[in-house]
Structure 1
């Protein structure tokens, strides 16, 4: 009879194998390095990442509603696009990005990685930023309306009030917060531009500033100082309050900051002007604007160029002060025009919107300043 075999019947005999201790050390070291690497990737980083955000056509619609509406004044049909551009910011107050996200952004030329302390003060909160951006957006919209009306020679009212003083201010201790500026050397201060012109015309000599203060009219003498821009300044922060002859509403939520001012103004000009300013072409741009129509620099210009290109824009209107950041970073197929004022921007759009005009005479960021 055949006997059943036990489990050990035919198992060969072997001596116990001794594990090399170096293998254990290497395995533990590898696991430790892997763990540290994973932890580093998941840890928050002290950086802010800027990437291209969405664009919005100021002469188009948002969520089925016109972005710009005017009541109390005749408007005209528009065509084409005048896109404002945005930047998406990750890693600001109340947010964190991982080291992995920061490294990934560094590898992407369309994104910018910046130490957080260079972008935001250390004690600012997320709600502070949201409030500041909302206030800047409201102010930029009002200034855009004022600039557009001034370009179209439509009268409106503007009052300037002192809300603070710059370091080494020429007027601190003379003017007071809340003072409403009414006259300079006897001439009406109807907007910011006449004030600037009068200060420069004085050439650094003392000027008489008439203000409304606590229900009284007061005249103060101030000797302006020459600023870094080459203009004579009082060294005060001014708040503009406007009185427009009709209502202009700009419906754009969840977008903050002042950088859409120029494109808002262009959209308003096109809406109030007979004919189609763009000629049906697709423009995009960015830039702050004041009531006099001066276009100022903004942040994130390279990301905005990418966003404009991805949205199909043919031409980008860039503030002259941002041109050094633009050169060498223009997406293929996108033409960049340098602008300093709303008049420059309107001229560029109208010129390129006309049939058979390539706008060869228009300044670009690559041209000598």
Structure 2
């Protein structure tokens, strides 16, 4: 019986072999997962960016200077803050984020994941995107000044000038640099924002009649829009246009390394606050976002959820959101932020009056679902 026991097979080596095999397969799977996680993903990540108080100072060439300067007109003391928000985009066609970055952003409510092609359409470089953002910011500042001064009953003339046309676009070879755009389908756009709206309203099925002045001569051209390949597609004709206003006095907005049109409303509110006696905010910390036309219409922007998180992180208690963005706002408001919906500059000023006085807040429109 003892001999039989000595010759019987020992099952332990088989179990040990299977154990090493299991650990080996697990190690291989982990290594493969790490490799996949580090591979580039065809997405970008939006997250809250820097916050700037339009009533405060910014750093320019190492010195703190007022963001809004009005040197020749009487200005008045302000209180509180009127914060404009930004969004940082992580990733570009040359430096895409990894799948690990995408996975961590997915579980962060302050971040958004967007397809790369929506932010950087094919053929668009990071430099192209930055240049377009610079032009949009420049036009936004001009339209904000125009909206503020229009609200304060100043009169001034304006012009829309073609700066460039996109290659192979509907406007290529039809419009030229320095053409002054006067009408679209008989309507006179007050600024770049209204020009875009008129082109979008025309649609894709027929040519838009674009009135211009070229070399002092008036003429009307026919241009059929196409759908843009931007994050929010709309009919376009492929032109870069600059707004020019002959303001009655100089208003300067200084802000470096920030692009896009979404700060227009907050710029306009900051200008009005400085040019009117008594603080608009009542000392409250108020943030907001939205494009602005020279006539005071507030338009939608991108990245509003990230901007709300940026506002809360900066200590704002109140947020002014374009009504056209309410579908994105509802259900995504940070816990300590109260959001009001605005369609015009007058709506925004009404909200500031209610916030400042503490009266009528419950009557203000919000983005909550009915």
CA contact (8 A) 2:286 2:318 kept: yes
Distance, in Å, in 1 between the alignment partners of 2:303 and 2:186 is: 43
Distance 1:38 1:79, change over 3 A: same
Change in Cα spacing, 1:75 to 1:112, as seen in structure 2 (3 Å) is same
* RMSD (CA atoms): 3.7
Write the mapping of 1:88-99 to structure 2, written as runs, cut at 5 A.
88-99=88-99
Per-residue Cα deviation, 1:45-98 (whole angstroms, up to 9, x for no partner): 222111122211100122332111112211111111100011121112333322
Mapped to 1, the partners of 2:118 and 2:185 lie a distance apart of: 42
Report what 1:108 is aligned to.
108
Residue in 2 that maps onto 1:121: 121
Q: What is aligned with 2:253?
A: 250
Query: Cα deviations across residues 192-240 of structure 1 (Å, max 9, x unaligned)?
Result: 49x99xx9xxxxxxx99874321x3335498999xxxxxxx99796542
Question: Secondary structure in 2 aligned to 1:253?
Answer: coil
User: Is 2:58 the partner of 1:62?
Assistant: yes
Q: Is the 8 A contact 2:299 2:324 kept in 1?
A: yes
Q: Which residue pairs with 2:190 in the alignment?
A: 191
2:365 is matched with which residue?
363
Asked if the contact 2:330/2:369 (under 8 Å) is kept, the reply is no
Quote the Cα distance in structure 2 between the aligned partners of 1:218 and 1:357.
53
- Mark the runs of 5 or more structure 2 residues left unpaired by the alignment: 1-9, 199-207, 226-234
- Alignment match of 2:32 (pick from 36, 46, 56): 36
> In 2, distance between residues paired with 1:34 and 1:185?
62
Q: Corresponding residue for 1:261? A: 264
| TM-score, length basis structure 2 | 0.78
Which of 1 and 2 has greater Rg?
1
- Determine the C-alpha separation between the residues in 2 that align with 1:31 and 1:222: 65
How far has the Cα of 1:180 moved from its partner? 2.2
Gaps of 5+ in 1: 1-15, 200-206, 226-232
User: Cα 1:110–1:191, aligned 2, differ >3 Å: closer, same or farther?
Assistant: closer
CA positional deviation for 1:164: 5.8
Q: CA separation in 2, counterparts of 1:221 and 1:96? A: 42
Equivalent residues of 2:110, 2:305 under 8 A apart: yes
- CA 1:191 to 1:111, structure 2 compared with 1: closer, same or farther past 3 Å? closer
2:304 matched residue in structure 1: 301
Q: Give the CA deviation at 1:184.
A: 9.6
What CA deviation, in whole Å up to 9, does each residue of 1:16-72 have, x standing for no partner? 996765445334323321211221222222221111222111001223321111122
